[in-house]
Chains A and B, each alone.
Chain A
Amino acid sequence: MESEEHIVTAFDDELEKLTTLISQMSGLAEAQFAAVMKAVESRNDELAEQVRDGDKEIDDLEDQIEALAVKTIALRQPMANDLRSIVASMKTAADIERIGDYAKNIAKRTIVLNQVPRLPVTRSVMRMGQSVAEMMKDVFDAYLQGDAEKAIEVWEADEDVDNHYTSLFRELLTYMMEDPRHISPCTHLLFIAKNIERMGDLCTNVAETLYYREKGVRLSQTRPKGNSANQMLVEPDA
């Protein structure tokens, strides 16, 4: 990212350490998400429990990043791209921490879902998960490479996820209306889908943060948004 080194080399070491921590943290979050999607797919309680318990490591990394960022700001009084880079680390760490929380929440719901028969609509949730997993990979790669153009691609890709979520929302409600016994598993699936959709939003946050870090200006246009499930009403046929 930086072409030249600082006169104070310890400053470079600290910035590098921040990047390393973000890299570790994002790798862990990706792994957690991949594992939990696999747990949903294979109805694997043990794997889900691993994910649930693994979130702590991500939280610890966030604490480390925050502490190092605060220390660096206090001791180095960073300016310009250094300042943007450190602030970006803190914001991104917070976003990754949320992604980890959502993965953990999905893990808990998976353990519940595994107690009832599988619904076919699960497959659609999996597909949505794949899209977001790709966004996640792309945005973290872009973050570490300082690739602002790729950030824009991720930012735009979220529209598809929004649309996917909205159609899932409709589908799940239809299932519930068909048979009240579906209500409990469908509600869990709906939350899982919502969590995945939120993860996509967090990826766009990271993209925005990364863009600002690289360019010094905000991605100003409003993000293209898909159809919203917020205002949808699905009623049973009379």
Chain B
Amino acid sequence: MAAVEQVVQSEPGTGRVKMRGDNVRVYYGEKQALFDVNLDIYEREVTALIGPSGCGKSTFLRCLNRMNDVVEICRVEGSITMDGQDIYAKDVDPVHLRAQVGMVFQKPNPFPKSIYDNVAYGPRIHGLVSSKSQLDDLVEESLRKASIWEEVKDRLDAPGTGLSGGQQQRLCIARAIAVKPEVILMDEPCSALDPIATAKIEDLIHELRENYTIVIVTHSMQQAARVSQKTAFFHLGNLVEVGDTEKIFTNPEDERTQGYITGRFG
């Protein structure tokens, strides 16, 4: 029996809480989008946020690197911490925070620059390197970690926008990695990609987990099941249920979770 369980369970992360949402409430003007969400994000694990459109999963994701700051009418209450530090504290620089908590979006959005510069941009503005050769190394390392180095090493000067959709997305992941983040947020990173490109991103997510904490919002339940260790189900602005992915997809506790993942409402 023990042997069977070993096969089924993927190796766990460090078991340490990397980020913690405590009674997170988010308002867009008068409208409340999130209601007292308490969610722990564990270090070096992939946490998938699922739920029907408008359930608040992307809103929560955006709280984790203060992307909501740029939305004028948006108000965040409660607390969100990383390594125990309040990321909404007055002395936290959101730009610095977003380097630590990187983000990859639904639609690949490379800068209209060369492949090299797309990756080099972050390290340059954050002053992470002191020489051209250091920068070269960091660009290569980042592209390698994003599993795209072999495909682009001979054309680093070509525009990033000329790559295929899947390659662009991996370039964006390389760009996020280049500034040495600890957490990577992904907002439906594969929804614009074909199945092969999706599989490559999923494979990459699996590898990235060794070094990074990943939070992914996805509309594909199969994708959540494939890539994550923890799954959180949101509905109408509430966190309904969170748990081990295997448990959520074979035996969820809450009827709403069950109804959603089995395709009975949504």
Contact across chains for A80 and B263 when beta carbons are under 8 A apart: no
Q: Which chain A residues in 77-114 approach chain B with CB under 8 Å?
A: 77-84
- Verify B250–A78 contact, CB threshold 8 A: no
Q: Which of A4-12, A62-70, A166-174, A178-186 contacts B (4 or more CB under 8 A)?
A: A4-12
Interface of A is mostly: loop
Q: Once the chains bind, are B250 and A216 in contact (CB under 8 Å)?
A: yes
Whether a CB of chain A sits under 8 angstroms from the CB of B258 is: yes
- Which residue of B is nearest A217, CB measured? B251
Q: For B251, list chain A residues within 8 Å (CB).
A: 80, 84, 215-217
Instruction: Determine the distance from Cα of A81 to Cα of B250 in the docked complex, in whole angstroms.
Output: 7
A79 touches B264 (CB 8 A): no
Q: Is B266 an interface position by the 8 A CB rule? A: yes
Shortest distance in angstroms between B260's beta carbon and chain A's nearest beta carbon?
9
B262 is an interface residue with CB less than 8 A from chain A: yes
A212-226: contact bitstring with B at CB < 8 Å (1 yes, 0 no)?
A: 000111000000000
Chain A contacts of B265 at CB under 8 A?
4, 7
Name the interface residues of A141-177: CB closer than 8 Å to any CB of B. Answer: none
| Residue in B closest to A8 when the chains form the complex, CB atoms | B263
CB pair B262–A6 under 8 Å, yes or no, is yes
Q: Which residues of A contact B221 (CB under 8 A)?
A: 77, 79
A6 to B259, CA, bound (A): 9
- Bound-state CA distance A7–B263 (Å) is 6
Chain A residues near B222: list those with CB within 8 A: 77
Q: How large, as a class, is the contact surface on chain B?
A: 10 to 19
B264: chain A residues at CB < 8 Å are 2, 4-7
How distant is the Cα of A75 from the Cα of B262 in the complex, in angstroms?
13
Distance, CA A6 to CA B260, complexed state (A):
10
Cβ contact within 8 Å between B266 and A80: no
With a cutoff of 8 Å between Cβ atoms, the chain B residues found around residue A80 in the complex are 249-252, 257-258, 261-262
Complexed CA–CA distance, A216 and B249 (Å): 10
Q: Chain B residues near A7 (CB, 8 Å)?
A: 263-266
Would you give the shortest CB distance from A160 to chain B, in whole angstroms? 27
Most chain B CB within 10 A, of A80, A82, A84, is at A80
A4 to B266, CA, bound (A): 13
- Shortest C-beta distance, B257 to chain A (Å), equals 8
- For A81, what are the chain B residues with a Cβ–Cβ distance below 8 Å? 258, 262
Which B residues fall within an 8 A CB radius of A?
221-222, 225, 249-252, 257-259, 261-266
Top 10 A-B pairs ranked by shortest CB distance?
A216-B251, A79-B261, A4-B264, A82-B262, A80-B258, A6-B263, A79-B249, A80-B262, A79-B262, A7-B263
Given contacts A7-B265, A11-B263, A79-B261, 20 further A-B pairs with CB under 8 A are A4-B264, A5-B264, A6-B264, A7-B264, A7-B266, A76-B263, A77-B222, A79-B225, A79-B249, A79-B263, A80-B250, A80-B251, A80-B252, A80-B258, A80-B262, A81-B258, A83-B250, A84-B250, A215-B251, A216-B251
